[in-house]
Amino acid sequence: MEKINPKVLVLLVLIVFTHLIFNQNLQLHYDEAYYWVWSKNLQLSYYDHPPMIAYLIRLTTLFSNKEIFIRLAAVICSTTTIVMMYKTSKCLFNQKTADITVVLALAWPLLEGTFFITTIDSPLLMFWSITLYCLARGLILGEKKFIYFSGIALGCALLSKYTAILILPGVLIFLLLTPSKRHLLWGKDVYLALLLAMLVFSPVIIWNYQHDWVSFAFQFHHGVASDKQINLAGLGDYVGSLLGAANPFISIPLLVFIYIKRKQILHDPRYLFLLSIFIFVSLFFAYNSLYKFMEANWVAPAFIGGVIFLAACLAEYNIKWVYRVAIGLVLILLPVVKMPEVFVPREYQSKIPAVNAFMGNAELYHQIKINDIQAGDVLLSCDYGNASRGWYYLNLGRTYVLSNFKYSNSYSDWNTGLQLPIKNAVYFCDGNDAVYLEQLKVYFKHIQPLATVGYHNSFVNNRLYVYRLSN
């Protein structure tokens, strides 16, 4: 049996270790801090999302809560995603396709991004890729036990993010359009696998039942517009972000080969299987983009099958320049992203978007800790992001977000630990909206502004507004 090309293996190991080394130099993004807080408050599910990310972070931080161990969850998930894409390519096609798949996966910016920020997309991509592999073995190769394994994997994907449900319409389309596989719709195996998926997902159903279905409702309204007014500019933004975030040297050749092989696709179950899911998910979000902004990462899992299809086409036609240029582009950008202080001219460093999310926050909270917090103070913040970073970097125990604040999210569930009225508290936020102060007046008689803390360098100019509260 052929093994992975040594050059491809070296490339994979090099990129994974590059992320591991440099991840320890980045402070936590507010989403990462929020999921870390989840991991310290394990539940069946949460207001925003299912719980898988919390469970994974809990495992990787058993012995240390340092940033690198929080991000270890992301590195494990992303590496596993690539391995499963490799295995799916190899079982459906050949070794050459599998090798090209790894290169394209490493050149895929949306997957690269999951290496250095731990979000719900990390486990979603991992379990989506595992589900795809099991479905390929079960539906295409006829190994019945893998149909059942796919049900378990799908359940885990649903525990990661609700959009995993979009795998099912794609599979249904494949079965309907493939005469040799259509009989599976009348057998028990597919439905028992679905039952397994629901059993794995049942903790989230139970939690939602106990909380008036709040998480399902929140995500539905987050992703589907209530006002059905067509906005063609939204579709344009979606297509543009889709092509760019997927690497144009992946997305454009993929679309070209779908057109070239449009007739063959319907007669090759391997192609049809991979593209039924890819096309359905892509069109689902394209339709919704007509009415509401769609984030590029929402469609990301669909590209797992798309990348494998593209790799098969490049292997068949022996086209090498596509994946070489694609990975070359990423290898050029990777050190710039990881070491901007070295590769970005100083006059442009402050122009890099979103860098403030990864720099300077630990310093802000250190200033608050030594200058403003007294024994017995309750810690409060204005939203889940600020509260979570405060919880992590202050390292003084629980931080609260009062339930009348708009973005309290899962923090509302944890306010049962507050004893009202609160005698003394310190409040901090990265914004100083007058509405926030009015909301604080509901709970406190005295609101005293303290010195605003700041942190500035050539990349960021961060600040926190701080108040002492008392009754």
Q: Name residue 373's amino acid.
A: I
DSSP 233-293: HHHHHHHHHHHHHT-HHHHHHHHHHHHHTHHHHTT-HHHHHHHHHHHHHHHHHHHHHTTS-
What are 255-290's pLDDT values in tens digits?
A: 999 999 999 999 999 999 999 999 999 999 999 888
Q: What count of other Cβ atoms lies within 10 Å of the Cβ of residue 218?
A: 14
Instruction: Determine the 3-state secondary structure of 218 from DSSP.
Output: helix
What are 301-312's pLDDT values in tens digits?
A: 999 999 999 999
How confident is the model over 107-120, as a mean pLDDT? 89
Average pLDDT, the chain: 91
Task: Say what the pLDDT of residue 391 is.
Answer: 95
Distances (CA, A) of 66 to 19, 32, 72, 197, 395: 15, 12, 10, 34, 12
Give CA 77 to chain center in angstroms.
10
How confident is the model over 219-238, as a mean pLDDT? 78
What are 353-400's pLDDT values in tens digits?
A: 666 678 888 999 999 999 999 998 999 999 999 999 999 999 998 999
Task: Say what the pLDDT of residue 155 is.
Answer: 98
What are 90-101's pLDDT values in tens digits?
A: 999 999 999 999
Partner residues linked to 380 by β-bridges? 400, 427
Task: Say what the pLDDT of residue 229 is.
Answer: 80
Partner residues linked to 447 by β-bridges? 469
Answering whether pTM is above 0.85, one says yes
210 pLDDT band, cuts 50/70/90, is very high
Task: Say what the pLDDT of residue 420 is.
Answer: 85
CA dihedral 45, 47, 53, 54 (to 10 degrees): -70
* Residue 50 near residue 204, CB atoms below 8 Å: yes
How confident is the model over 15-36, as a mean pLDDT? 89
